[in-house]
Structure 1
Amino acid sequence: MEYFIIIHGLVQKDTILQKSFEDSIYLSSSIIIAGVLSWEITSGRPPFPDFGNRYALIYHLISKNRENPIENTPPDLDLFNIEYQNDNSKSKNNIQVIVQSYLKYNNTGWTKNYNFINVLKEYESESKELFNYLIDNPKIPHYEVLIGKFYQEGFGIDKNQQKWFKWFLKACERDDEHGKYEVGSCYYHSRGIEKSILKAEQYFKGIVDCGPNIALYKLANCYEFTISQVKEALINKAFQLYKTSAEKGFIPSQFKVAYHYSHGFYTQINEVEALKWYKSFHKDGGYPDVSDKIKKLENL
């Protein structure tokens, strides 16, 4: 790739810095020239008139600094900033991967080989760039939820309990089911807000029919480990919620269903069903390992 530096309307080929910027996202000279000419036409002057040193200028550009478009410039003539939009194609793709990974986590759960946190770790070196890209693109699916998750995990930004909870609440205001789950999870685990199992239950219960599978799993947790201690009538609902979410593909729930069938918790003992669900859990890569449990049931 050849690199061209723009100085006061002139396009100069630069070979000294070519190797240094091989991994930088930069456009061809034709796009740059078009952008410069368009900007000069609408502004009446060359861009960046205060830069006389080409190396200072290229660092300025690589840092994604751009001239501001002249007032009332039609968007299709703002070619100078087309470069900025294209510069972010890599960030766009990576954000899409992160969004899909988040949705997968909420609908299929964690396994021995998969966890949303581990996906974020793969992009840690780009985290600040990805956070900035996310902030600048509010049309990204589950925008508010993702910002909240970045604050929660310290991905590209310092962890901030107040901010992640605020962004999850904003997602709720937009009727985002994943945002409602996250608020419920904050109440359940006391993350950024005082612990309240009853409020967590309300959020989880509100999205049982339309939200991610993880909401069913968490609501079952509420009934099994907390609320059920006070309201005995709810204890059987925990098993039914685990089973429903397992049938919808939530892998951690498969273990719960198998375990309950095996021990007769909240249902009658059923070794056939226990074996079926343990095998499904094992096939899907669930954690912990259940090989011994499968062998034991097969030998009955």
Structure 2
Amino acid sequence: MEYADGGSLRNYLKENFNNLTWENKYDLAYQLACAVSCLHGEAIVHRDLHSGNVLVHQNKIKIADFGLSKRIEESSQKKYLFGIIPYIDPKKFAISNGNPYSLNEKSDIYSVGVLLWEISSGQLPFKDVDYDICLVLRIFKDQREKSVEDTPDEYVKLYTECWDGEPDNRPSINDVVQRLRANLSRSRMEIDNLKPNDNMDLNCIKNSAHGGLSRIIQDLEKINTSENIPTSKKKLVDEIVEFIFKEIDEEKNQETRERHILDNFNNNNTEIYNWLLTNQNEPNFIFLLGYFQYYGIETDENKKEAFNLFKNASEKNHILAQYYVGLCYEFGNGVVKNDKLAFDSFKKIADKEYALGQFKVGYFYYKEIGIKKNLKEAFTWYEKAAQNGNLIAMCNLGLMYKNGEGTNKDIDKAIYWYKESVEKGNQDAQKTLNKLLKIKNRKNLCKVN
């Protein structure tokens, strides 16, 4: 087993608890949840989570000692079992008629709930009572530790849901990760990257009594020794973000854009989402997790959390994130509607010569959103966006040429820009283009007559 300078979580809390802030506690809880998420993502159930086998090395959580399923179901060493009573899913102690309860992922969630309480208190659960059959009965009848004073309400709510007596009422590990991350991000927007092999000791799995893990161990070793997997994930995320950028920069129809994105990457959505939850060290990763939250892809739609993620990535100069910050302010998604801040967000992008920002600035000038109406400015920004390939900007520029808004009327230039938009894929512009061609033909007939 790899050396852990902080020892077990139990020892670490004993030695350092008085110096821990709530940010530190949230960080420990988040790392713990991420580590369990990595296991569940590989179809591994730990079954033995307690503060004695969760290790801390350089303030990083590591999980060790797999295999309680073997010990609980086959061992006669009851002393060990009683020593970890507070962490075991109470369903395991239910009297059954030949069908003993099998510990599962929801059992790990129960243990996580107890560990979250332990992190908040710095104390062993039920430290003042004997770990015996009486405690088993009390826990089975839903007795739990009381929340510690000054613990955030959201944190109490989370661990209470985790240690619910009914497994179906407990959240998934992904939900736990997401909720801890949301609370942690309020005080610290930069979250360290947590790779699966940073949180698991494969030697501990090998030495476990649980022989049924052998096939999964081999898969985990491949993950641990090969750089191809994280590299391929990063490459895939970068490709998705680039695809989204291209679709938005050209300002394709929203429904068409979302359909293209889902059609191209649908088979990987679940895998990508789970990976993103524990990999937030690059702007693209932060943005894409926000994108999933914004549109409810592989998770419930959460505009507020999406905005926080976009804001985080935008502060790292991520163009798409800056664009979505603007959208959130424009429509009041996840944040209070603010036209001025929306305009400022888009203007920053426009000044960097990106079409998606130039189009929005032109639109805001045209519609008088967050800025005084100015048709000449609208024309100028639409023209820049159109020249950079934005399909809707081409149509809007054509319309301004047709109506003489911000420029002189010019039917030929109007036709030119609508035709450009059609030829580059915007079939919605075809109807207006046909009308403009008819208008020009009528004018030509009038000249002849």
TM-score for the superposition, normalised by structure 1: 0.69
Q: Distance in 1 between matches of 2:438 and 2:365?
A: 29
Instruction: Give the structure 2 partner of residue 269 of structure 1.
Output: 409
- Is it true that 1:194 corresponds to 2:336 in the alignment? yes
- 1:254 offset after TM fit, Å? 0.4
User: Are the counterparts in 2 of residues 178 and 211 from structure 1 also a CA contact under 8 Å?
Assistant: no
Equivalent residue runs for 1:96-135 within 5 Å: 96-110=238-252, 115-135=257-277
Secondary structure of 2:206's partner? coil
1:118-174 Cα offsets, whole Å, 9 max, x none, are 313443343121112234444555332222111101122221111100011101221
Count of aligned residue pairs for this structure pair: 240
Equivalent residue runs for 1:149-160 within 5 Å: 149-160=291-302
Secondary structure of 1:207's partner? helix
- Is it true that 1:231 corresponds to 2:361 in the alignment? no
Alpha-carbon distance change, 192 to 50 in structure 1, aligned in 2, over 3 angstroms: same
1:212-255 Cα offsets, whole Å, 9 max, x none, are 31111112222222338x834x2321121111110111111001
Instruction: Give the structure 1 partner of residue 392 of structure 2.
Output: 252
Q: Distance in 2 between matches of 1:260 and 1:46?
A: 68
1:26-67 Cα offsets, whole Å, 9 max, x none, are xxxxxxxxxxxxx99xx5x771523223xx643x459x6x47
Q: In structure 2, what residue type is equivalent to 1:179? A: A
Q: Which runs of 5+ in 2 are unaligned?
A: 1-200, 444-449
Q: Distance in 2 between matches of 1:80 and 1:161?
A: 33
2:211 to 46, 52, 76: 52
Secondary structure of 2:299's partner? coil
- Is it true that 1:182 corresponds to 2:341 in the alignment? no
Q: Distance in 1 between matches of 2:304 and 2:223?
A: 38
Secondary structure of 2:350's partner? coil
Q: In structure 1, what residue type is equivalent to 2:429? A: D
2:422 to 266, 282, 290: 282
User: Are the counterparts in 2 of residues 111 and 251 from structure 1 also a CA contact under 8 Å?
Assistant: no
Alpha-carbon distance change, 285 to 88 in structure 1, aligned in 2, over 3 angstroms: same
Alpha-carbon distance change, 235 to 49 in structure 1, aligned in 2, over 3 angstroms: same
Secondary structure of 1:224's partner? helix
Instruction: Give the structure 2 partner of residue 75 of structure 1.
Output: none
Q: Distance in 2 between matches of 1:118 and 1:249?
A: 18
User: Are the counterparts in 1 of residues 247 and 257 from structure 2 also a CA contact under 8 Å?
Assistant: yes
Q: Which protein has the larger Cα radius of gyration, Structure 1 or Structure 2? A: 2
Q: % of aligned pairs identical?
A: 23
- 1:273 offset after TM fit, Å? 0.7
Alpha-carbon distance change, 91 to 46 in structure 1, aligned in 2, over 3 angstroms: closer
Q: In structure 2, what residue type is equivalent to 1:216? A: Q
User: Are the counterparts in 2 of residues 105 and 116 from structure 1 also a CA contact under 8 Å?
Assistant: no
User: Are the counterparts in 2 of residues 183 and 200 from structure 1 also a CA contact under 8 Å?
Assistant: yes
User: Are the counterparts in 2 of residues 255 and 278 from structure 1 also a CA contact under 8 Å?
Assistant: yes
User: Are the counterparts in 1 of residues 283 and 313 from structure 2 also a CA contact under 8 Å?
Assistant: no
Q: Distance in 2 between matches of 1:146 and 1:182?
A: 11
Alpha-carbon distance change, 272 to 87 in structure 1, aligned in 2, over 3 angstroms: same
